[in-house]
């Protein structure tokens, strides 16, 4: 019985503490979001990114500690056979979900504000995309989405940071699957045009209304409940870092197409003997 009272007291204290911290985190993130929305000067935005990135790191560490302690407390109440114990277990589970959501938001935020240095290599873009399709196919199939890659027969050589490029395209794939809750088709089509590699990511979802299409690359703009609004802005930033461009067009009832262009690699001169 003494153990039960101790656990109940610990759970109550943890719940109050966690809720307080979560409210503080939300307030801090909201402030950072508002600052980023209204800063357009590149130098000031870079400085703001460093400041808010440091803040996010400071929040992330105690948030991980809270998540672990909530998990341990929830295990204590998992087999509770009284109403109060079951209520505490449910509350602890809800708090764990909220902590995980904020942890994911912070991860997205840090990726967005960090000034990642490019580590480029010359590679065949077809291979990177095929690897990404194989990786993403189980997730697509679980959502009843058929994913297909249409690749040219000849190599498409580009100088890119393959990790970042895969991240940029993966954001598009995730968005596309989320836009097709009833299932559909997702196509990655790679072609070349003059000195550019052209990647089209096409879905058969409901499409994006014209008044929304112009805002999809804005930071923190999201039409999906629970969305961070940072996936597409992060993708655009990565593509621009590679001296490329990204654009979208959509037709209601038919789907959406994202078009990425990247410079083709310049052929390296043969090494003289």
Tens of pLDDT along 65-110? Answer: 887 888 888 887 787 778 887 887 888 888 888 887 777 777 766 6
Is residue 165's pLDDT more than 90? Answer: yes
Common-topology check for domains 2-113 and 121-263: no
DSSP output for the chain = -HHHHHHHHHHHHHHHHHHHHHHHHHHHHHHHHHHHHH---HHHHHHHHHHHHHHHHHHHHHHHHHHHHHHHHHHHHTT--SHHHHHHHHHHHHHHHHHHHHHHHHHHHHHHHS-PPP--EEEEHHHHHHHHHHHHHHHHHHTTEEEEEE--SS--EEEE-HHHHHHHHHHHHHHHHHT-TT-EEEEEEEEEETTEEEEEEEE-SS---HHHHTTTTSTT--SSTT--S-HHHHHHHHHHHTT-EEEEEEETTTEEEEEEEEEBPPPPPPPP-
Contact 189, 200 (CB under 8 A): yes
Regarding predicted confidence, which is higher, 173 or 217?
A: 173
Question: What mean pLDDT is predicted for residues 130-152?
Answer: 95
The C-alpha atoms of residue 121 and residue 243 are separated, in whole angstroms, by 15
Band of residue 14 on the pLDDT scale cut at 50, 70, 90: low
Global pTM value: 0.65
Domain boundaries, the chain: 2-113, 121-263
Q: Which fold has domain 121-263?
A: Heat Shock Protein 90 (3.30.565)
CATH number for the segment(s) 2-113: 1.20.58
């Amino acid at each position: 019985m003494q153990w039960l009272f101790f656990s109940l007291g610990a759970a109550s204290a943890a719940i109050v503490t966690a809720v307080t911290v979560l409210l503080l985190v939300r307030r801090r993130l909201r402030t950072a979001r508002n600052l980023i929305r209204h800063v357009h000067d590149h130098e000031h935005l870079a400085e703001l990114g460093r400041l808010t990135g440091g803040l996010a790191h400071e929040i992330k560490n105690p948030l991980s500690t809270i998540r672990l302690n909530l998990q341990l407390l929830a295990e204590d109440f998992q087999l509770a056979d009284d109403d109060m114990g079951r209520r505490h277990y449910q509350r602890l589970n809800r708090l764990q979900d909220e902590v995980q959501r904020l942890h994911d938001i912070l991860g997205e935020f840090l990726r967005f504000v960090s000034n990642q240095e490019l580590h480029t290599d010359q590679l065949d873009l077809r291979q990177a995309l095929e690897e990404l399709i194989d990786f993403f196919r189980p997730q697509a199939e679980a959502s009843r989405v058929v994913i297909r890659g249409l690749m040219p027969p000849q190599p498409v050589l580009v100088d890119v940071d393959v990790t970042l490029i895969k991240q940029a395209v993966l954001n598009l794939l995730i968005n596309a699957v989320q836009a097709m809750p009833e299932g559909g088709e997702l196509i990655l089509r790679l072609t070349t045009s003059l000195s550019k590699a052209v990647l089209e990511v096409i879905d058969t979802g409901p499409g994006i209304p014209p008044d929304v299409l112009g805002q999809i690359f804005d930071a923190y703009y999201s039409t999906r409940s629970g969305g961070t609004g940072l996936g597409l802005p992060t993708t655009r930033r990565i593509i621009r870092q590679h001296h490329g461009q990204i654009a979208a067009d959509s037709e209601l009832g038919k789907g959406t197409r994202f078009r990425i262009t990247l410079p083709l690699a310049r052929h390296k001169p043969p090494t003289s003997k």
